[in-house]
Amino acid sequence: MKKLDVKKITTVSSDVAITKYQAEYAKVFQQNILLSAQNENQQNLIEYLFNKVPEAFPDDYLIEEKNNGINEN
């Protein structure tokens, strides 16, 4: 009579774990790069829109900037 070897199911070799981790890390790293690029593009688009149509932005989104570059609310 054959019996299921439960140890084979519950034991994961370090090679398998490392390979899975590396694959997941690579996937997350790639997603992070894409999100960073999308975020930069979105910020550039918002700045472009503000420069073209500043009145489209509510006053509470705007800050006054002093001559020395320090922001003031």
Phi, psi dihedral angles at 66 (to 5 degrees): -75, 170
- pLDDT tens for each residue of the chain, 73 residues long: 888 887 777 766 778 888 889 999 999 999 999 999 999 999 999 999 999 999 999 999 888 887 765 665 5
Cα–Cα distance for residue pair 51/48, rounded to 1 Å = 5
- Which residue carries 């019996």 as its tokens? 3
> Which tokens belong to 65?
């900037």
> What residues pair up with 65 in beta bridges, in sequence order?
71
List, in sequence order, the alpha helices (H) in the chain.
6-10, 14-52
